[in-house]
């Protein structure tokens, strides 16, 4: 038995499951049962040791991932270390290294060593960066090179990988039948599509899915089945290309599950608010409740510069409907590679969305901090308010308390809580 899934199926509650169940509203035994049924995953590479082991899926707190990494235009190791620190300070549960510029291996090692949380990658990005450097077109990648890159990254200790196995001859054909405004906005997806068309062959990740499962099983790497045809604008949401790909991912998720390989599904993208619940329900039903890892969704296309807010709106609604894992979106989305503060703001916005989703689902214990905050507000206990806040440092730095220590500068002496309190006193007298 190599994977957490295989162990869970055999009824073995692993030390990792015990660690992951800490801080969750369920026991390690319940987590084991969820993993055994494919409803939760515990991304942890067998060769990667890290402190903050967490699980993702049904009955668990909504988790948040921060995408970090260089691009060809911005490749600075020190900047990545700072961004990593910002993501962790903001409370990210997972980091993805999406680097495509600079020394990719060195960057990956840095993340593997310095991050106390799970690390994900998109192996084809590393390969594409190498092709670019050698002046070779993307469609020259051989299947052997692709699997070799995946095995390399898995052997280094990456905990989960995004693989665009659903970009196939069939889904590419389906794409042609639907008039999209934006055919493909996924970097990995567009590379695979180009490969298929240029070579007239099937996507190796689909064709040789068993080879992928061999690698994933060997290192217990969780497969995150990527959505290369995720809608890139709200009008393209829930079209044939997207649904076709989702059905392919559902088939492959079933095969991974049978093999004992942990698997989650990636999801949209740009989706109008009124379609988010349908998106989640469709994924959950087709994929037999495999954990859903979503990017966004963004319920409008026009809010560039504020897409952490747009995404928090979509993410809260999606999480309430059952999405398990939120990939953050930063204020830099659609504009530039995120800087340190973008990373911090992005994680915070996604954490707010995840927490609101947990409250909405009635996740046991999720309202404890909110209840504490309400009591502190009612008793004008400023220090307690700071401690109950999602971001105590920010609250401490911005809170303006009057000299009497009884009111804040927002309402001053006309504080409703104070007035109500005085009324209680009046009544007690009478």
Strand pairing report for 56-57 and 94-97: unpaired
Q: Does 306 bind a second copy (CB under 8 A)?
A: yes
CB of 421 to a second copy, least distance (A): 9
Binding mask 316-355 for a second copy (x = CB under 8 A): xx--x----------xxxxxxx----------xx--xx-x
Footprint of a second copy on 262-301 (CB under 8 A): 272-274, 299-301
Q: Does 362 bind a second copy (CB under 8 A)?
A: yes
Task: Answer yes or no: are the C-beta atoms of 8 and 121 closer than 8 Å.
Answer: no
Q: Is 50 left (phi over 0), alpha (psi -120 to 50) or beta?
A: beta
CB of 254 to a second copy, least distance (A): 28
Of the pair 92, 312, the CB lying nearest a second copy is at: 312
Of the pair 38, 331, the CB lying nearest a second copy is at: 331
Q: Of these, 256, 261, 313, 318, which contacts a second copy (CB under 8 A)? A: 313
Of the pair 132, 211, the CB lying nearest a second copy is at: 132
Q: Is 59 left (phi over 0), alpha (psi -120 to 50) or beta?
A: left
In the block, residue with structure tokens 């060997």: 218
Sign of CA dihedral 307, 359, 224, 77: positive
Q: Does 1 bind a second copy (CB under 8 A)?
A: no
DSSP string, 145-212: HHHHHHHHHHHHT-SEEEE-TT--HHHHHHHHHS--SSS---HHHHHHHHHHHHHTS--HHHHTHHHH
Q: Of these, 43, 123, 232, 267, which contacts a second copy (CB under 8 A)? A: 232
Helices (H) and strands (E) in the chain, counts: 19, 10
In the block, residue with structure tokens 């659609």: 334
Of the pair 46, 303, the CB lying nearest a second copy is at: 303
CB of 369 to a second copy, least distance (A): 5
Q: Does 361 bind a second copy (CB under 8 A)?
A: yes
By rule CB under 8 A, what count of residues binds a second copy? Answer: 104
Q: Is 315 left (phi over 0), alpha (psi -120 to 50) or beta?
A: alpha
CB of 319 to a second copy, least distance (A): 9
Instruction: Dig out the tokens for 78 from the structure.
Output: 């020190």
Task: Answer yes or no: are the C-beta atoms of 37 and 253 closer than 8 Å.
Answer: no
Q: Of 228, 212, 208, 198, which Cα lies nearest the Cα of 153?
A: 212
Q: Does 177 bind a second copy (CB under 8 A)?
A: no
Q: Of 355, 352, 324, which Cα lies nearest the Cα of 59?
A: 324
CB of 334 to a second copy, least distance (A): 7
- Kindly report the length of the chain: 430
Footprint of a second copy on 181-210 (CB under 8 A): 181-187, 189-191, 193-194, 197-198
CB of 357 to a second copy, least distance (A): 7
Q: Tell me the backbone φ, ψ of residue 346, rounded to 5 degrees.
A: -65, -45
Q: Of these, 46, 74, 238, 243, which contacts a second copy (CB under 8 A)? A: 74
Footprint of a second copy on 387-426 (CB under 8 A): 388-391, 394-395, 398-400, 402, 408-417, 419-420, 422-423, 426
Footprint of a second copy on 37-66 (CB under 8 A): none
Q: Of these, 104, 141, 234, 290, which contacts a second copy (CB under 8 A)? A: 234
CB of 126 to a second copy, least distance (A): 11
CB of 110 to a second copy, least distance (A): 20
Q: Does 87 bind a second copy (CB under 8 A)?
A: no
Q: Of these, 235, 258, 341, 383, which contacts a second copy (CB under 8 A)? A: 235
Q: Does 226 bind a second copy (CB under 8 A)?
A: no
Of the pair 33, 100, the CB lying nearest a second copy is at: 100
- Through-space distance between the first and last CA atoms of the chain, rounded to whole angstroms: 74
Q: Other CB atoms closer than 10 Å to residue 374's CB: what's the count?
A: 13
């Amino acid at each position: 038995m190599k994977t957490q899934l295989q162990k869970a199926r055999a009824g073995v509650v692993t030390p990792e499951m015990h660690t992951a169940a800490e801080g969750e509203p369920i026991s390690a035994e319940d987590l084991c049962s969820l993993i055994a049924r494919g409803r939760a995953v515990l991304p942890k590479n067998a060769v990667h040791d890290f402190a903050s082991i967490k699980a993702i899926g049904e009955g668990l707190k909504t988790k948040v991932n921060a995408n970090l990494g260089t691009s060809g235009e911005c490749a600075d190791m020190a900047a990545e270390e700072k961004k990593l620190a910002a993501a962790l300070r903001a409370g990210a549960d997972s980091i993805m290294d999406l680097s495509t510029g600079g020394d990719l291996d060195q960057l990956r090692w840095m993340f593997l060593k310095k991050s106390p949380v799970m690390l994900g990658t998109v192996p084809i990005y590393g390969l594409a960066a190498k092709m670019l450097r050698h002046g070779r077109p993307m469609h020259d990648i051989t299947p052997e090179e692709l699997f070799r890159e995946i095995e390399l990254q898995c052997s280094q200790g990456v905990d989960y990988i995004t693989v665009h196995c659903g970009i196939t001859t069939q889904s590419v054909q389906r794409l042609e039948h639907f008039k999209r405004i934006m055919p493909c906005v996924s970097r990995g997806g567009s590379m695979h599509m180009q490969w298929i068309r240029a070579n007239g062959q099937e996507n190796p990740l689909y064709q040789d899915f068993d080879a992928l499962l061999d690698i994933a099983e060997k290192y217990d790497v969780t497969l995150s089945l990527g959505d290369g045809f995720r809608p890139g604008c709200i009008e393209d949401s829930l079209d044939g290309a997207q649904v076709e790909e989702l059905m392919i991912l559902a088939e492959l998720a079933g095969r991974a599950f049978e093999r004992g390989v942990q698997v989650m599904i990636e999801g949209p993208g740009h989706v109008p608010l009124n379609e988010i619940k349908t998106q989640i329900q469709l994924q959950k039903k087709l994929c037999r409740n495999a954990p859903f890892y979503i990017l966004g969704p963004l319920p409008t296309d026009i809010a560039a510069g504020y897409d952490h807010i747009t995404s928090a709106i979509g993410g809260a609604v999606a999480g309430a409907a059952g999405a398990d894992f939120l990939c953050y979106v930063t204020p830099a989305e659609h504009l530039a590679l995120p800087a340190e503060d973008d990373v911090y703001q992005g994680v915070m916005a996604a954490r707010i969305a995840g927490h609101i989703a947990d409250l909405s689902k009635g996740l046991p214990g999720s309202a404890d901090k909110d209840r504490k905050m309400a009591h502190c507000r009612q008793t004008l206990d400023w220090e307690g308010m700071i401690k109950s806040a999602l971001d105590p440092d920010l609250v401490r730095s911005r809170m303006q308390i009057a000299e009497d220590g009884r009111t804040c500068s927002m309402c001053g002496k006309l504080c409703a809580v104070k007035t109500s309190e005085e009324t209680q006193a009046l009544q007690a007298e009478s």
